Amino acid sequence: MRSPVPALALLLALAGAAQARADSAKPEIVELRQSDAALRATYEAKHVQRSLPRLLLLDGAGRPLLVETGMRGGVGHRLADALERDKPLPAPLTLDAVLAETVDANGKPVAVADLPKADGYVVDYWATWCEPCRELGRDIERQLARWDKHVVWIKIESDPEKLPENRK
């Protein structure tokens, strides 16, 4: 009769490999917020009020591949297709421009050099009161866990209610 130890060792090795794959499939997340000046500029125009969520997909060079406002179904497929096509849009948005309007948790500016290198960057503008933002966040997380490319998820809080003059 065979010893159960090799089978157990194989099972443990497979479980460890599965966990390593699951860990590597978790998206790398960078959490930022719009600076006060950028928030004011964003929400100054009446037509922009509450226009969340906003979603960008940028390639590894920081050029836009997908730009969307609002919530539509099938975001995972659109993100995957845009990354696969790798055809930059003629939009003036770049990773540098996005980061120029952001700060980290300590209020310090963030530069492209501060970010991990990646095949792409998903930029997600959200606010705590925005239910579509939370739904989009869940969709993005599921999609990024499926990708075999290294994509960094940049979550940017864009909440005009957090401006000093809007706090109650």
Q: What is the pLDDT of residues 21-32, one digit of tens each?
A: 444 556 799 999
Token digits of residue 28 = 């790398």
What pLDDT is recorded for position 51?
77
The pTM of the full predicted model, rounded to 2 decimals, is: 0.81
Q: What is the pLDDT of residues 126-152, one digit of tens each?
A: 999 999 999 999 999 999 988 888 999
CA gap 71, 137 in Å, rounded: 11
Above 90 in pLDDT, residue 42?
no
What pLDDT is recorded for position 21?
47
Instruction: Annotate 47-73 with three-state secondary structure.
Output: HHCCCCCEEEEEECCCCEEEEEECCCC
In a domain, 9, yes or no: no
- How many domains, the chain? 1
In a domain, 80, yes or no: yes
What pLDDT is recorded for position 162?
86
Range of the domain at 35: 27-166
